[in-house]
Structure 1
């Protein structure tokens, strides 16, 4: 059961069911906001004390329970307005977490790439076939994606599975604004689904954006990710978009190298913060 904490201008929620960190009992603090570093650090101290008392030995934040929900805070930005579905932070959030004894334990970034004239390499495996969603039966198609994601994401740090119903509840609301050419499926020579890519125009900038977001992609076979990305960038160029955002990439992921090879320019950095708890208040 979650617990709510308020201190002055700050608010936080403690989630008792969180991904394990280093195999230790772990909780997460999320739904965080603060108007000052002092208030933010104080509310995090209250949540930390409650987590320690409940038996946690690790605390993650900001994270609304799991990585399927909002998590990470902004650590560096060029001032570009937030894009659709991007985690956001208040001006005092990072300093508040640091003042409360948290430190970065995973780092991420978003980059933008100019599509005109981009050197978009062809797929490395000609036997991988990429198909565009035909717009029919979204529940069935995203149910396939759910099955693939259980395998593709299982090795990711802090990953925890969610139910099929919860997964569909996250994606199906976007169906009315999805453009089919940015929902891609990769199949191997035997016809098995080995990859998925979900992109969406940056409607956070208005109803007719010139930027498209490569939001999520996953693959189970070498070469599937590159094939999906190649088709995505070509489709974005053909549709008249000027820029693509490579969103929320873990800095050690192979996607980081691919983004750089395509001319991606980093414009935002993020971190998931963590704190080791001992038996005595810090």
Structure 2
């Protein structure tokens, strides 16, 4: 990943010159952004823009730490509740710096919460096409290897998708193995054991060692209906394990997951945006 970092007046930013494609054009991503003042943030962002222009790139997206596998998005609206585990965070000044530099929102997302006592009221139709199983708690490298392979296939057509290597993926996720709750990691498999879906959930340890909420972080499927069965099993399992609230995390506004979250009666409490800037040719 070709990158350059800049600092100025208590602010910092990193430029990734080989960002995802946006609008059919090669794109640079800007991420790892923080500023103590708007003035310092504006100065360091301008350095990043100048670097990108000097490298002949006209499309910029941010905030994004290189790709969507890593941290990206600004919080754009909030109810001021504490951040949950693995949630992106930023100051209002950081968002304003980008807007004042000409960036506009190009993709929008939300997080919602639902009391588990009201979730998963209706079971999806029974099927013999696949079975839902919990992770058995063994061989985490194999677990994340399977998640990586299915993710690459399931997300390949998503906007801003950029492939990464299996080793890079494992380097991100293996450090969180000690925090995993095997009951909240689910697989959908055909009878021949072919993997057709997964769901990755985790207790919200941002609340402390005994959290009351649980996060539905990511799920994906390659077979119709598998996602619905995974989500239903997740909510039921979380309730049985003593959690009282489910957080539907970081959902794209146009994703099918958004409709499912709304159907569960989940209330949106945070919104996020990915921003873009097109430089003059």
TM-score (norm 1): 0.96
Q: Distance in 2 between matches of 1:32 and 1:186?
A: 38
Equivalent residue, structure 2, for 1:228: 230
| Aligned residue-pair number | 279
Equivalent residue, structure 1, for 2:15: 14
Q: Distance in 2 between matches of 1:260 and 1:8?
A: 43
Equivalent residue, structure 2, for 1:244: 246
CA contact (8 A) 1:120 1:233 kept: no
Q: Distance in 1 between matches of 2:122 and 2:199?
A: 17
Q: Residue 245 of structure 1 aligns to a residue in which SS?
A: strand
Q: Residue 108 of structure 2 aligns to a residue in which SS?
A: strand
Q: Distance in 1 between matches of 2:224 and 2:32?
A: 37
Equivalent residue, structure 2, for 1:213: 215
Q: Residue 92 of structure 1 aligns to a residue in which SS?
A: helix
Cα displacement (A) at 1:189: 4.5
Q: Distance in 2 between matches of 1:274 and 1:180?
A: 38
1:38-117 equivalent positions in 2, closer than 5 A:
38-117=39-118
Q: Distance in 1 between matches of 2:29 and 2:158?
A: 17
Cα displacement (A) at 1:36: 2.2
Q: Residue 75 of structure 2 aligns to a residue in which SS?
A: strand
For structure 1, the 5+ residue unaligned runs are none
Cα displacement (A) at 1:205: 1.0
Equivalent residue, structure 1, for 2:200: 198
Q: Distance in 1 between matches of 2:162 and 2:225?
A: 25
Q: Distance in 2 between matches of 1:103 and 1:10?
A: 21
TM-score (norm 2): 0.96
Q: Distance in 1 between matches of 2:208 and 2:92?
A: 24
CA contact (8 A) 2:25 2:59 kept: yes
CA contact (8 A) 1:212 1:236 kept: yes
CA contact (8 A) 2:29 2:65 kept: yes
Q: Distance in 2 between matches of 1:53 and 1:224?
A: 47
For structure 2, the 5+ residue unaligned runs are none
Structure 1 stretch displaced more, 163-172 or 208-217: 163-172
**4+ residue stretches of structure 1 with deviation over 4 A?**
none
